[in-house]
Amino acid sequence: MQTNQRDNRLAEQLRNQIQQLRDELQAHNYRYYILDAPIITDAEYDQHLRQLEKLETELGEPVPSSSPTQTVGAPISHVFEPREHLRPLLSLANAFGDDEVRDFDRRLRDLIDQNMTGRDNFQYVVEPKIDGLAVNLRYENRVLTIAATRGDGRVGEDVTDNIRTIADIPWRFEGDEAGDVPELLEVRGEVYMSKASFEALNKRQERQGEKLFANPRNAAAGSLRQLDARVTAKRQLSFFAYGVGEGTASLGNSHSALMQKLKSFGFAIQAYEVFSDVDALLANYQSWQQRRQVLPYEIDGLVYKLDDFDLQQHMGEVARSPRWAVAHKFPAEEVVTTVEKIIWQVGRTGVVTPVAEMKPVKVAGVIVSRATLHNIQELQRKDVRIGDAVVVRRAGDVIPEVARVVEPAGERGEPAMIPELCPVCGSHIEQAEGEAAIRCSGGLVCSAQLKERLKHFVSRGAMDIEGMGDKLIEMLVDEPLDSPLKLKSVADIFRIDFDALAGREGFAEKKIKNLQRAVEKSKKQPLAKFLFALGIRHVGAVTAISLSEYFHSMEAIRDTDIEALQEVEDVGPEVAASVSAFFEEAHNMEVLAALKQAGVWPDLAKVKDIPEGHPLAGKSVVLTGSLEKVSRSDAQAALRKLGVKPTGSVSKKTDVLVAGENAGSKLKKAQELGVEVVDEAQLMTWLNWHAEDDV
C-alpha cells in the first residue's frame, strides 16, 4: 500500500514537472514565433525540449497533441488573417555535435536496410541554415496568391502584401522554363535580413530614438509582420527558397533537382553540396565554421537532407519534424572581454538577476557590453568577479551570456555580494524554498517591476498599444507623483492626460493623437490577450487562450476555484494556484476594477451554440490516446466549433471519454468513475452529426 502511494506521489510530481516545462516552452514558442522577442538561446530551448521528451517517456502516459514535443511553432496571433498550408510546414530536429550527426546517419541507414534493401548508396544534400523566418508561398496557375508565416506548422499568418516587397520572390512565373509549374504549388523558404541591411536599419532606429534590434533574425521577423507594407519595403528583406510543399512530385525526384527547378522559376537559392557519407558531412561542417564569417548574411548551422524523394517518403516524419533531415547547429561564437561591474536587474515578476557590465566587444556581429549571469547559483558556480577576464558568447545569436572565467593570472576581486534589499526600491529580497530565483518583495511599489509589467501589458502580444515603447513607459513611471502623466499601475494608461504631452521633446501633435487612438483602440482586446497582458505568473499566451476558450469571460475565471481551473487543458496545479492567487490579491482586484471603470474590459468570448438536439449538448468531453482520422487538437477544435467544451482531465464532471489507441490512465479513471467511453468512430459520427440524423 505504501509503495503504491509513493509511486502515485512520484508520478504526480513528474506530471507537475512536465506541465511546468510545457508551459515554459509554449511561452518561449510564442515569444520566438509571434512576438519576435526570444529570451533564451536556441541551445537552451533545445535542452528544455529534450528534457521534456525524457520526462514524458519516463511517465509513460499518452502525450497530448498540444505538447511542445508534438507541435511546431506557436498558435498564430490575431493581428493577421490565418492561412492554412496545403501541406504542414514542419520544423527540423537539431544536432549539436558530431556524435548526434552520426546517430542521425545510423538511424537512417538502419531504417533503409529494414525497408528498402539494396538502397544503401544514398546521398545527402547540404545547405547552410539561414537564421531567418520560414514562410510558405502559394502559387495558383503561376501567380502568387497567398504568403503565410510558419505559424503552428499547419496554419500561419497572411503576410502576402509584405512578401510582395521582397525582390527575390517572383509574383508570377513567366516564360517557357516555367511551363511545367503545377497548378497548385507551395514554395517554402526563409525570409532573412542581410548583415548590411541589419546595420543600416539599426542606425536608422538609433537616429530616430527607437529600440535597436538584437540580431538580423529578430529584425527580419519584425519587419515581415508589419501592418504597413511600406515599412517592410524599407527594411530590404531577402529570401532563399529551400523546398516545396504541395506540388513536389511533379518537379523532380530529388532535392538537388528540385533546387535547380526553383532556380529556373526565378527564386534565389543557396549554393548546396552533395555528399555520400557522414565523414564528408562533418569535414564540410568544419569548413563552413570558417566560411560563415565572410557570408553577407547570418547562418547558424548546416542542414542535411536525404536527396532522394523516394527515400524521404519512406523515412516519413515524427510529430514535429521529418526523419530524413537534421539541422547541425554551430556552437556559439565566443570572445574574451573584461568584467567592469556586476549589477542586479529587476524583472516584471520581481525576479532579481545578476548582470555583468563589461568592456564592449563584438560578438556574432553585434557590440555587447552586458551579459546575463542568469541567477545566483550560476554566478557562484562560474565565480565571476569584477576585473575577471571572461568568455562571452551569444548562443543562438540571441542573449549574450558569460560562459566562463578565463583562468586568472593573479589576485582577483571579492566575490559579488548577494543583495538583501532590492537595488531599485529597497524592499526585502525573498527566495522561495526550492527555487533558484530571488525576488523583490516590493510588488508594484517597485518601479522596476512596474516598468516591466507595463512594457508587457502594452506589448504586441498583449494589449498591443502601438507607440507606447519602452522609453515612453520609463519616462511616465519616473514622472513626479503629482504629474497628470504619472503611471502607478496599468490602469493609469487609460487616464493619461494627453494634453500634458504637448511641448515635450519628440511629441508632435500627430504623434500624440496616434498614441491616444492606439490607447483607445486597445480597450476592446479579446479576452485571451487581456488575460495575457495582466502578467499572471505561469500564464503565457497559450495558457491564456485555453482559459478564455474554456471560461469565455473574466468574471468566470475570477470566480472559479482551483479544481475547476485544472479542468482546462494544459492547466496544472501550479498554474491553477497562480491564477487563483492573482484574483485573491486585493491590489489586483483594485486594478481590475479601475480598468473596468475606464472601459477596458473584454467582451464575452463568442461561443457557437451547439446544434439543437446534438448528442453532446451540454456535455463535458475528454479525448485520450491516438486518433487515426483526425489529430487530437483538430478534434478538440471541431468540438469547440460545435459549442462543446473539451477538457484535459477526467473527473466526476466528465460526461464522455473518447478513447483512441493506447489510451492510458484517463481511460482507467473514466472506467472507475463510470464515465461513458466511446471510440473514434463514434466521435466522427458526432462531429458530422446533423439534426435530420435522428429523424
**Confidence (pLDDT) at 105:** 92
Residue 318: burial class (beta carbons within 10 Å; 0-12, 13-18, 19+): exposed
Neighbours of 407 (CB within 10 A): 6
pLDDT at 74 over 60: no
**Confidence (pLDDT) at 326:** 94
Residue 512: burial class (beta carbons within 10 Å; 0-12, 13-18, 19+): middle
Give the whole-angstrom CA distance, residue 66 versus residue 64: 5
Tell me the three cell numbers of residue 562.
482551483
* Mean pLDDT value of segment 47-58: 80
Higher pLDDT, 74 or 215: 215
DSSP 497-536: -GGGGTTSTT--HHHHHHHHHHHHHGGG--HHHHHHHTT-
User: Is residue 424 a contact partner of residue 346, using CB atoms and an 8 Å limit?
Assistant: yes
**Confidence (pLDDT) at 486:** 92
pLDDT tier, 294 (very low <50, low <70, confident <90, very high otherwise) = confident
Give the whole-angstrom CA distance, residue 229 versus residue 600: 30
pLDDT at 308 over 80: yes
Tell me the three cell numbers of residue 352.
532579481
Give the whole-angstrom CA distance, residue 664 versus residue 441: 43
Question: 398-450 pLDDT, tens per residue?
Answer: 568 888 898 776 788 889 999 999 998 888 888 877 777 888 887 766 888 88
Tell me the three cell numbers of residue 639.
468540438
User: Is residue 77 a contact partner of residue 311, using CB atoms and an 8 Å limit?
Assistant: no
pLDDT at 162 over 70: yes
**Confidence (pLDDT) at 2:** 55
* Mean pLDDT value of segment 322-346: 89
Give the whole-angstrom CA distance, residue 39 versus residue 21: 15
Long-range pairs of 371-380 with CB within 8 A, sequence gap ≥ 24: 371/400, 371/401, 371/402, 372/399, 372/400, 372/401, 372/402, 373/342, 373/401, 373/402, 374/401, 375/436, 375/437, 375/438, 376/418, 376/436, 376/438, 377/436, 379/342, 379/354, 379/416, 380/415
pLDDT at 605 over 70: no
Neighbours of 216 (CB within 10 A): 26
**Confidence (pLDDT) at 627:** 78
pLDDT at 64 over 90: no
pLDDT at 364 over 70: no
Whole-number Cα distances in Å, 188 to 150, 425, 539, 654:
9, 50, 33, 43
DSSP 2-68: HHHHHHHHHHHHHHHHHHHHHHHHHHHHIIIIISS---S-HHHHHHHHHHHHHHHHHHTSPPPTTST
Nearest partner of 301 among 157, 130, 470, judged by Cα: 130
The half-sphere exposure of 218 on its side-chain side, counting CA atoms within 13 A, is 20
pLDDT at 244 over 90: yes
What region does 306 belong to: left with phi over 0, alpha with psi -120 to 50, or beta?
beta
Give the whole-angstrom CA distance, residue 550 versus residue 543: 11
**Confidence (pLDDT) at 395:** 53
pLDDT at 558 over 80: yes
- The 3-state DSSP class for residue 371 equals strand
Nearest partner of 274 among 308, 298, 241, 244, judged by Cα: 308
Question: 101-154 pLDDT, tens per residue?
Answer: 999 999 998 888 766 655 667 899 999 999 889 999 999 988 899 999 988 788
* Mean pLDDT value of segment 233-260: 90
Percent pLDDT > 70 in the chain is 86
Percent pLDDT > 90 in the chain is 27
Q: Does domain 2-68 have CATH number 1.10.287.610?
A: yes
* Mean pLDDT value of segment 157-175: 86
DSSP 415-479: BPPPPSB-TTT-PBEE--TT-S-EEETTGGGSHHHHHHHHHHHHSTTTT--TT--HHHHHHHHTS
User: Is residue 93 a contact partner of residue 327, using CB atoms and an 8 Å limit?
Assistant: yes
What region does 66 belong to: left with phi over 0, alpha with psi -120 to 50, or beta?
alpha
Beta bridge partners of residue 148, listed in sequence order: 136, 158
Topology of domain 334-430 in CATH is OB fold (Dihydrolipoamide Acetyltransferase, E2P) (2.40.50)
**At residue 417, what is the residue type?**
M
pLDDT at 78 over 50: no
- The 3-state DSSP class for residue 347 equals coil
* Mean pLDDT value of segment 70-94: 72
Contacts of 552 (CB under 8 A, 6+ apart): 527, 604, 605, 607
Domain boundaries, the chain: 2-68, 94-329, 334-430, 443-597, 620-694
**At residue 436, what is the residue type?**
A
How far out from the chain centre does Cα 305 lie? 25
**At residue 415, what is the residue type?**
P
pTM tops 0.85 = no
* Mean pLDDT value of segment 2-31: 73
Architecture of domain 620-694: 3-Layer(aba) Sandwich (3.40)
pLDDT at 693 over 60: no
- The 3-state DSSP class for residue 317 equals strand
pLDDT at 456 over 60: yes
pLDDT tier, 390 (very low <50, low <70, confident <90, very high otherwise) = very high
Q: What is the DSSP letter of 553?
A: S
Output the CA angle 486-492-495, nearest 5 degrees: 95
pLDDT at 366 over 90: no
| Range in 284-298, 363-377, 484-498, 603-617 the model is least confident about | 603-617
* Mean pLDDT value of segment 539-563: 85
* Mean pLDDT value of segment 651-669: 81
| DSSP collapsed to 3 states, 128-193 | EEECCEEEEEEEECCEEEEEEECCCCCEEEECHHHHCCCCCCCCECCCHHHCCCCCEEEEEEEEEC
pLDDT at 618 over 80: no
* Mean pLDDT value of segment 340-368: 86
Give the whole-angstrom CA distance, residue 84 versus residue 138: 10
Contacts of 320 (CB under 8 A, 6+ apart): 69, 70, 71, 72, 90, 91, 153
Domain spanning 94-329: which CATH class is it, in words?
A: alpha beta
**Confidence (pLDDT) at 77:** 45
Higher pLDDT, 130 or 646: 130
**Confidence (pLDDT) at 117:** 57
Catalytic site includes residue 451: no
Output the CA angle 24-25-26, nearest 5 degrees: 95
* Mean pLDDT over each residue of the chain, to the nearest integer: 83
* Mean pLDDT value of segment 51-57: 82
**At residue 163, what is the residue type?**
I
Give the whole-angstrom CA distance, residue 231 versus residue 223: 7
**Confidence (pLDDT) at 239:** 95
Give the whole-angstrom CA distance, residue 667 versus residue 660: 10
Nearest partner of 51 among 75, 27, 20, 90, judged by Cα: 20
**Confidence (pLDDT) at 43:** 64
Q: Residue 43: what are its φ and ψ, rounded to 5°?
A: -65, -40
Give the whole-angstrom CA distance, residue 434 versus residue 194: 45
**Confidence (pLDDT) at 115:** 63
Higher pLDDT, 51 or 610: 51
Helix, strand, coil shares of the chain, percent, nearest 5, are: 40, 20, 40
DSSP 577-630: HHHHHHHH-HHHHHHHHHHHHTT--PPPPP-PPPPTT-TTTT-EEEEESB-SSS
Domain spanning 443-597: which CATH class is it, in words?
A: mainly alpha
Output the CA angle 78-457-526, nearest 5 degrees: 35
pLDDT tier, 470 (very low <50, low <70, confident <90, very high otherwise) = confident
pLDDT at 630 over 80: no
Which entry of 129, 261, 329, 529 is annotated as an active-site residue?
129
**Confidence (pLDDT) at 637:** 66
**Confidence (pLDDT) at 118:** 53
| Range in 172-176, 467-471, 514-518 the model is least confident about | 172-176
Give the whole-angstrom CA distance, residue 571 versus residue 609: 25
